[in-house]
Amino acid sequence: MPKFAANLTMLFTERPFLERFAAARAAGFDAVEFLFPYAWPAQEIKALLTQHRLRLVLHNLPAGDWDAGERGIACLPDRTEEFRAGVARAIEYATALEVPQLNCLIGKVPAGVDPRQIDETVIENLRHAAAELARHGKRLVIEAINTYDIPGFYLHGTAQALRLIEQVGADNLLVQYDIYHMQRMEGEIAATLQKHLNRIGHVQLADNPGRHEPGTGELNWRFLFAHLDRIGYDGWIGCEYQPATTTEAGLDWIEALSR
């Protein structure tokens, strides 16, 4: 049976962020994930996790100026020092929050820069991040994003992610496989999950089109959840979708599609 983690960046947004932990527990979730913890003291978040008996399964490395439209800085040659400082800050939070893995959003390709320099920057940044996380017993995951939602995003396909992992050469570097993004970019969800299961460290979901909850779009979720069980995926599945109405009103998909 799948294990679902509520993505608190996307779900329960009717409430302030720090109130979403209680809402996730009340809705029956045992685990949560979110984009970034850095606006709050780590101990404040830790207290909420403890109070509501929740596990935090994932958060992201710092990704630049999010409000200004940045979606990661790992591909920016002129910001490697900022990237490394972000890795150190993320590890501090991940240690305090007992997070097993961190996601690196690589970012949008900068204009006017030699593509070879961009590639080299990405590889070296990932090597650094993976090595630092390995020292603390943690994994690094990288996520391919569809270029319809984020035009120009550097990492946009599974094969590209796997090539990066080979080039970096770190045992603790894996794929964060987002079903929504990869349905938009390449399809073949079930076959890809099965073929590359040993390289997949985390799975996220949303239906397509619309990026709403499972059951609102074209994907056969009953089949996919059973398929993940059959092939032996035992990690968490992050619910990173935009509720079609309210979070609570749409949560009946869990009972309907995953049992």
DSSP string over 218-244? S--HHHHHHHHHHHT--SEEEE----S
The DSSP 8-state label assigned to residue 153 in this structure reads B
Query: Domain containing 225 — which CATH number?
Result: 3.20.20.150
What pLDDT score does 80 carry?
Answer: 98
Q: What pTM was computed for the model?
A: 0.97
Q: What is the pLDDT along the chain (259 residues), one digit of tens a residue?
A: 799 999 999 999 999 999 999 999 999 999 999 999 999 999 999 999 999 999 999 999 999 999 999 999 999 999 999 999 999 999 999 999 999 999 999 999 999 999 999 999 999 999 999 999 999 999 999 999 999 999 999 999 999 999 999 999 999 999 999 999 999 999 999 999 999 999 999 999 999 999 999 999 999 999 999 999 999 999 999 999 999 999 999 999 999 987 7
The one catalytic residue among 14, 82, 124, 143: 143
Number of domains in the chain: 1
Instruction: Tell me whether residue 240 is one of the annotated catalytic residues.
Output: yes
| From 166, 188, 240, 255, the catalytic residue | 240
In whole angstroms, give the CA distance from residue 256 to residue 259. 7
Its domain, for residue 235, covers 3-258
Among 253, 159, 237, 147, smallest CA distance to 199 is for 159
pLDDT of 131 reads 98
CA dist list (Å): 171 to 134, 138, 177:
9, 11, 17
Q: What is the pLDDT of residue 254?
A: 95
Q: What residue ranges in the chain does DSSP mark as E strands?
A: 3-7, 31-33, 55-60, 101-104, 139-143, 173-178, 200-205, 236-239
> For residue 1, what pLDDT is reported?
77
